[in-house]
A and B are shown apart, each in its own frame.
Chain A
Amino acid sequence: MGSIQALVPRMKAICGAGNVITDPLELRTYECDGLTAHRSIPALVVLPGSADEVAAVVTECARAQVPFVARGSGTGLSGGAMPHAGGVLIVLSRMRTILEIDPVSRRAVVEPGVTNLAVSKAAAPFGMFYAPDPSSQVVCSVGGNVAENSGGAHCLKHGFTVHHVMGLEIVTPAGELTWLGDGTGVTTGYDLLGAFTGSEGTLGIVTKIVVKLMPLPEVVHTLLAAYATTSDGGRAVSDIIAAGIVPGAIEMMDALSITAAEAAVQCNYPAGAGAVLIVELDGPAAEVEAEVATVRSLCEAAGATEIRAADDPAERAVIWAGRKSAFAAVGRISPSFIVQDGVVPRTSLGAVLATIASLADEAGVRVANVFHAGDGNLHPLVLYNDASPAETLAAEELSGKILDACLEQGGSITGEHGVGVDKSRYMPKMFNADDLDTMQLVRCAFDPAQLCNPGKIFPTPRLCGEVPGHRRAPHPAVAAGQAEIF
């Protein structure tokens, strides 16, 4: 802590006194991100206003060997931005300028604190949008999206953040500013852009992002189908995919989450439904019309008890209201809940949902299911009362068993929320020691001192030893001083 206090005047000189927080009460407001179960009060919070300031802050941390953690809007759900108790929290919310929009190139350049939705809003006058759309898009930051490789309901068709990031300016853990990628999406040498995106803030701090914009679809058509059970709805999902249709989004909610959403936002979903399926089709009018007809008949054939359609923004908003409010709505019917983020192959959805139901019954715990059915990304909400240690324990145990069930089907422990601090203990269930060791070679290349967001993703850090010195005869170009081999 001594070294941290010594950093304070330096940080004030870099960022301005008003942008360095030392007051214990104020520090406490940064103790967690969207996952409140994991908390840690940072020793110091700084709010740099530019890339150069971020670089200077990181340089000071590196020099003092003090850990640092970057934070965007703090909406993450895996504790990825949870501060280090003995370190500096670097908050990027002051850096929120959209630097450029080039509609002809379909590119925007933004600072990391810009919110996800702000990009689409700024692009809208040019008939463009930014495709990744995490549920928190009103507040979550693009820099945070890059760290987590965020998805969203529409990534089924349009891909994840990594498919839409064309260039990054970063501050390396040593404090150097560098660009990754050439801004076009074409790669020269190693794809550092791809490796960095989704590295959960452990390889450096993003200071500028070049994103791809897409033309707004000519038409968007949304269908809501009600079913007696989630397995009926699941059958419709399989049939749609088997028909060769890739919708923009396919979302499902079960009875408990429908009830919760109804109570919270009066979304007026069909009464008594055991499941609702939301299918959104977007694209050229000439294609979407045919797809809507096909999807509608497949939904009916799978036993839909009611189908509603929307093709204007207001009607679509009504359909989406229930889905988008689901997490918050569940918070109203339970004092606390754990959001899981497991993924299974789409064809295993039915089996895993049945397993979750029986596990929940056994444990006597309620689980509400809201999920991205099109890509098999489940968001079981495990409900419990955090005032009861017994209930808390039961909920945590059930959450772990749900992830086990996902892995048994060949799935993943996280589809879009990240590993963070929350799921690092599950990593060895998905990857063996050699796999984890190999991943950490990347960490050692970027951050040998392991000061950048330490303690996240990996259950056990790898020691980044000195690289052995053995070398073969040098390349002629190297010998001639023309090149360095990598």
Chain B
Amino acid sequence: MDTERALAAAVRPALASACPALRDGDALDAVGGVTPSFVGLPASTAEASALLRVAASFGLAVVPRGAGHGLGWGLPPTACDLVVDTSAMDQVIEHAAGDLVARVQAGATIGQVASVLAEAGQQLVLDAPADATVGGVIATGTAGPRRFRYGSPRDLLIGVTAVRADGVVAHAGGKVVKNVAGYDIGKLLAGSQGTLALITEATFRLHPLPPAVAWVTAEFGPADRGAAAVALQSAAGSALVPSAVELDWPPSSAQASSRAPRALRVGVLLEGTLSGVAERARLMSELLASAGGSPAVAVGEAAPPRWGQLPSPSTVIRVSFWVSGLAGVLDAVAAAAAGAGVRPAVTGSAGAGALYACLDPGTEHDATVRFALSLRERLAAGPPAAAGRSAAEASGSGGPRGPRGSVVVLAAPAPVLAAAGADGVYGPVPGAPLMRAIKDQFDPDHRMFPGRLAAI
């Protein structure tokens, strides 16, 4: 004990000399129920590097933190001695408007970056909360509706600076959009949830702000799920260049309380010039109406309710799939929900093959686990092929098909995570042994957010 106390007494001054903005952790800093001993707020990449070198020398478990939106998602850390908070690194370092590129510190918020870029009529196309940090959005791989056209953070990130577990500062990429020099470490860090390194700076590709936007929505009755799927597929495959193709399928209780039952909403975002968007919205309305099911089609200049937002759920299960199997996915969700006795709200970028099944906090833990496992089992066999699958199938040599989607529990109450186990949380993850090898190379002592990512 004495040695431990002496060690602990040595840790604080060493950390503080590396990073003067150091304080004790408290209950508000807890990550997945684990309260850190220290919280450091480095002001620069150099300070962050010094801080992580000291942490390494004492073998401390480190959890990087942005705004904290994603900290409660996923498995809790097995240990958390030091939280590294990026909020003191909050500068937009450079906005090269003529190059459509911006370099920002990891702690800058999405809202702050957006307001700087908007002055030049530009944007960083990441659909995330205004108070989320750039570093957090990259680390969690957060993507909203516009992933359909622009992808996720990994697709917009062109350069990155990060501090490794051992304190070494590494750069990759650069500040030009087109660049294939060296391995793309930025891709590896995007979505790595702080388990490989601390992101301190990022350079992004930007896009012009569109002069006009319109949302085209089609609401289908509960009996017309199939027609809704066809309408969505038509929108996603159209040459009208939608920026987002979303599905919103509230739980049965919500539709019962609504006077006119509107079971499923297909929502399409169009961006462009004023006249162009008006014309495309007209054509998109016709397209959505032509799928059958007599939907109520509307065009609006404001986002429809719940656009790009998950309900405030306790459990979020992400389903990814090939879009031709959408109707089968919806059937599987309905059947798994009925079997487990749960009422999921289903929403997300169905046009990009990603949906989120959200369960409210009142849901029984056992039922949640049953639902997730049943859904995965139903989809593992592969959703039934869409009607009219092309003749090109005939040219196939019928080799192993490979994965066509996944069912992953992104967030859930601790008892659900514990009951499901990593196997139940993730299901099969392609390339998991290589991921473990990557982790071993970047963080051989497993001190960066230990326990957060796990795979079988």
Binding site for B on A (CB under 8 A): 50-51, 97-107, 109, 122, 126-127, 148-149, 151, 155, 159-160, 162-163, 167, 169, 172, 178-192, 194-195, 197-199, 208, 210, 215-218, 238, 241-242, 244-246, 283-284, 286-287, 290-291, 343-347, 372, 375-377, 410-419, 423, 427, 430-432, 434-439, 441-446, 457, 467-468, 470-478, 480, 482-486
Contact = CB atoms under 8 A, between A and B. Distances in A.
A442 B422 CA distance: 24
Contacts of A475: 75, 78, 450-451, 454
Contacts of A446: 434, 437
Contacts of A283: 241
Contact of A244 (B61, B180, B187, B208): B208
B408 interface: yes
A198 B187 CA distance: 11
A473 B169 CA distance: 27
B183 A412 contact: no
Given A190-B188, A217-B239, A184 B404 contact: yes
Per CB-CB distance, the 9 closest pairs between chain A and chain B, nearest first, are A194-B187, A483-B422, A244-B208, A438-B170, A482-B421, A486-B436, A286-B279, A101-B392, A104-B324
Contacts of A192: 188, 431, 434-435, 438
Given A179-B403, A210-B402, A242-B98, A434 B170 contact: yes
Contacts of B321: 184
Most buried by B among A186, A415, A430: A186
Interface in B100-121: 100-101, 121
Contact of A412 (B170, B176, B188, B280): B176
B392 A246 contact: no
A6 to B, nearest CB: 29
A483 B324 contact: no
Contacts of A457: 182-183
A377 B207 CA distance: 18
Given A169-B400, A185-B352, A476-B78, 6 more contacts: A105-B322, A149-B180, A241-B100, A444-B441, A484-B432, A486-B438
A442 B188 contact: yes
Query: Which of the four size classes fits the interface of chain B?
Result: 35 or more
B247 to A, nearest CB: 15
B273 A287 contact: yes
B429 A189 contact: yes
B188 A195 contact: yes
A178 B434 contact: yes
A445 B392 contact: no
B51 to A, nearest CB: 17
A415 B154 CA distance: 18
Contacts of B190: 187, 191, 194
A287 B78 contact: no
A39 B191 CA distance: 40
B275 A286 contact: yes
A432 B196 CA distance: 20
Contacts of B446: 471-472, 485
Contacts of A477: 75, 418, 421-422, 451, 454
B172 interface: yes
B230 to A, nearest CB: 9
A216 B239 contact: yes
A187 B141 CA distance: 8
B280 A195 contact: no
Contacts of B184: 149, 162, 194-195, 197-198
Nearest to B274: A290
Contacts of A443: 183
Interface in B432-456: 432-442, 444-447, 450-451, 453-456
Contacts of B79: 472-473
Interface in B56-81: 59, 61, 75, 78-79
B320 interface: yes
Contact of A415 (B180, B324, B403, B440): B180
A15 B437 CA distance: 31
Interface in B165-180: 168-172, 174-180
A166 B434 CA distance: 18
Contacts of B257: none
Nearest to A191: B187
Contact of A199 (B175, B183, B423): B183
Nearest to A285: B279
A84 B397 CA distance: 32
B18 interface: no
B324 A345 contact: no
B396 A99 contact: yes
A472 B430 contact: no
A483 B322 contact: no
Contacts of A242: 97-98
Contacts of A182: 320, 403-406, 430
25 contacts: A99-B397, A100-B395, A104-B324, A159-B151, A182-B320, A184-B353, A187-B152, A187-B154, A241-B98, A286-B283, A287-B280, A412-B179, A413-B181, A414-B179, A431-B171, A445-B438, A472-B59, A472-B446, A472-B450, A474-B78, A477-B422, A477-B451, A483-B455, A485-B439, A486-B455
B8 interface: no
B436 A484 contact: yes
Contacts of B431: 178-181, 189, 192
Given A244-B209, A472-B61, A485-B451, A127 B239 contact: yes
B375 interface: no
Contacts of B182: 419, 427, 430-431, 435-436, 439, 457
Nearest to B279: A286
B180 A179 contact: no
A444 B438 CA distance: 8
B146 interface: no
B211 interface: yes
Q: Which of B184, B325, B450, B455 has the most CB of A within 10 A?
A: B184
A431 to B, nearest CB: 6
- Of the candidates A99, A104, A245, A417, the one having the most CB atoms from chain B within 10 angstroms of its own CB is A104
A186 B98 contact: no
Interface in B76-104: 78-79, 96-101
Interface string B200-211: 000000011111
Contacts of A419: 180-182
Given A210-B402, A217-B239, A345-B99, A445 B353 contact: no
Nearest to A177: B400
Contacts of B432: 189, 484, 486
B456 to A, nearest CB: 7
B421 A347 contact: no
B191 A102 contact: no
B237 interface: yes
B296 interface: no
Contacts of B277: 286
Contacts of B100: 241, 346
B155 interface: yes
Contacts of A104: 233, 237, 323-324, 386, 388-389
A102 B390 contact: yes
A195 B450 contact: no
A208 B183 contact: no
B322 A238 contact: no
B426 interface: yes
A482 B207 contact: no
B191 to A, nearest CB: 5
B172 A435 contact: yes
